[in-house]
Amino acid sequence: MNINQLLCADIHTMDDDALANYADELRRTILHHAKLYYVDDAPVISDYDYDRLYRALLELEKAYPSLDDPASPTKRVGGAPLDKFEKVTHTATMNSLTDVFSYDELREFLDRVNKNVPDAVYSVEPKIDGLSVSLAYVDGVLWRGATRGDGFIGEDVTQNIKTIFSIPLTLPEPLTLTVRGEVYMPRAVFERINEKREAAGQQLMANPRNAAAGSLRQLDPAVTAERALDIFIFNFQEGNLYLDGHAPASHTETLQRLSDLGFHTLEHQICAESAENIIAHIEQLGTLRDELAYDIDGAVIKIDDLASRRKLGEGTNTPKWAVAYKYPPECKQTKLLDITVAVGRTGVLTPTANLAPVRLAGTTVTRATLHNMDFIRERGIMLGDIVSVQKAGDIIPEVVCAHPEKRDGSEVDFPTPTVCPSCGARVFRDDNDGAAIRCTNAACPAQFSRAIEHFASKDAMSIDGMGPRVVDLLLDNHLIFDAADLYALRVEDLEHLERMGKKSAQNLVDAIAASKTAGLERVLFALGIRNVGAGAAELLAARFCDLDRCMNATVEELCDINDFGQITAESVVNFFSQEKNRTLCDKLKAAGVVLTAKAAPKDADLAGLTFVLTGTLPTLSRDAATAMLKAKGAKVTGSVSKKTDYVVAGEAAGSKLTKAQELGIPVIDESELLQMLGANTPMQESLPL
């Protein structure tokens, strides 16, 4: 099911088996997107949709106790930590908050609280859209900074934390305590960094939140320092805020005390008693979103009196005395000035909206995707329309709809292209590929440009500095005619190009040379074979070991590969049947590009063994576990079969675990995996408090 189907499913019409399958699907979907958000910093859905999925599962488990699962994501706080830093066990769990999505739900929360705490006073404050951290001080000196991680185990990022100037390295008093805050990247910093990255032809950062998370996780503190991060401290978790040992009586007093100690505390925080005043401040915060120097995604409402908080207590993962009101995805109206059509590396024509500038989710948006021509026709979008725009997954700007009621008669239809905007060749509608409109010219310059960019991209040959601007320079100056020509470039060919210079030219030539040893799996992905992504390229390399064997493989041989379907197999055979593609491969070989799979080390003690990873492991990310296994010579596949030697199972392992048990395949956990790898369990320390 897709997300909309999951959210709209009618559980009252389901039998027991269907309910169990629905619960499993919800859990798998939530865990998948939790990893993208917390581990990979690469979300593809909005926080709003993720929170709705989580709520759906929470309510399902509450309504049907028989579906309860100790491994459910509702029993956890967040995602697993990365493996770049030492692990830290939090002495006080860094819980999340229960989300509410309407004022009716907010009033229900207030009514529940007021039954136990009559005339309660609430703190209402902005919910900062950043990365949660804890800061531990011993005798007034900053001892350690740690990320939230999954709420129980985080990452030691002390050296990077110290680069944030608003964090005091020493307190004015010799206190031993732990405080909690939210690290964020100011909008002005985010925009300045993206301007520099765009000028350098580098990939832009998605949004300030992801930029902050990625910056705090840099292995080099100097890189973090350049990012000018900031932080708001909003409570204390451990220790005493006063030398005489007494604690503040209220959250408001806590914030004042934290401010006195030199911490950067929350702005726009008020205290309110009535639902009307609380809602009024939430709405006021909503109107301030564009004016703030940082992103917020909601408002936090919590009891101000700390004794009342202790009276209400904590739930399994969330406190009973606080909720977070989540704003829906920000959607704004602006004028559609024009529609331009770009041609991708596979010849697909993609329309893009050129908009009057509008501030949206932390950035100024002037362009947004229109997906395809069917999208424009189905929604009746016309040039000159007032359109609504939002960011899909809070990242990619997209046009949602037009507003015909606001037309003044000057609007005109956008004609469906009949020829390619790049080369003028005839286009056709490819109903086998999602009704895409595709250029018929294999030599189309735009396709060629995009193909070179793909060849040099991070997941392909990873040629640093080979962005769209540089590719266009090389093409415009007739220095390359296919990807293999990159390896013939010399410094003297490049140093006189616009904004290049001798040093930049040398760096680019060095990066191109370094890419020669990327290995077969990256070459196969870089070639841009239709339907062959990075995973399929890895499977091809593992099966055939060198490019010549891949080029001569039959559809039947390709279909024998686990997780390789008929369509992908036919795409591979079709690609290598074309003379121009075989010529390109010959040129790569002549240029010295390594076209064989990287061999496992001679001392690889897991050589010949096949592993399948399933579920969420306690400390290792999927990518880290895969890399460790491959380094020992093992093969990692995506499905369980009789050829599988071991299944490594974590939380919410699902159907792969079931199949392994049915086939009698050994199932191991993370600790057993680490023993097989000869690795030590990551350090898990506790704060000395």
Structure tokens that stand for 283 in this block: 């709405």
The domain that contains 354 carries what CATH number?
2.40.50.140
Q: State pTM to two decimals.
A: 0.56
Nearest to 129 by CA among 286, 324, 298, 301: 298
* Blockwise average pLDDT, block size 10, the chain, 689 residues: 80 87 88 67 79 87 83 60 70 86 94 93 94 92 88 86 88 93 92 78 73 84 86 90 88 94 92 96 91 91 95 86 89 94 86 91 83 90 95 77 95 93 88 75 82 90 90 91 94 88 92 93 91 84 90 91 82 89 94 84 72 79 76 81 88 77 88 76 30
Question: Which backbone phi and psi does 430 adopt, to 5 degrees?
Answer: -100, 90
Number of domains in the chain: 5
End-of-domain residue from the set 436, 463, 482: 436
The domain that contains 546 carries what CATH number?
1.10.150.20
Q: How far apart are CA 545 and CA 146, in angstroms?
A: 43
Do 429 and 450 share a domain, yes or no? Answer: no
CB atoms within 10 A of CB 602: 7
Range of the domain at 662: 610-686
Sign of CA dihedral 40, 41, 45, 50: positive
Do 428 and 450 share a domain, yes or no? Answer: no
Do 617 and 654 share a domain, yes or no? Answer: yes
pLDDT score for 561: 83
Instruction: For residue 462, tell me if it sits in a domain.
Output: yes
Q: Which helix (H) or strand (E) holds 142?
A: strand 141-147
CA-atom Rg of the chain in angstroms: 28
Annotated active-site positions, please? 127
Do 119 and 261 share a domain, yes or no? Answer: yes
End-of-domain residue from the set 436, 453, 487: 436
Question: Which backbone phi and psi does 398 adopt, to 5 degrees?
Answer: -140, 145
Instruction: For residue 596, tell me if it sits in a domain.
Output: no
CB atoms within 10 A of CB 504: 17
End-of-domain residue from the set 403, 436, 469: 436
Do 461 and 502 share a domain, yes or no? Answer: yes
Do 405 and 370 share a domain, yes or no? Answer: yes
Do 116 and 262 share a domain, yes or no? Answer: yes
Do 315 and 338 share a domain, yes or no? Answer: no
Instruction: For residue 595, tell me if it sits in a domain.
Output: no
Do 241 and 117 share a domain, yes or no? Answer: yes
Do 672 and 552 share a domain, yes or no? Answer: no
Instruction: For residue 427, tell me if it sits in a domain.
Output: yes
Do 494 and 400 share a domain, yes or no? Answer: no
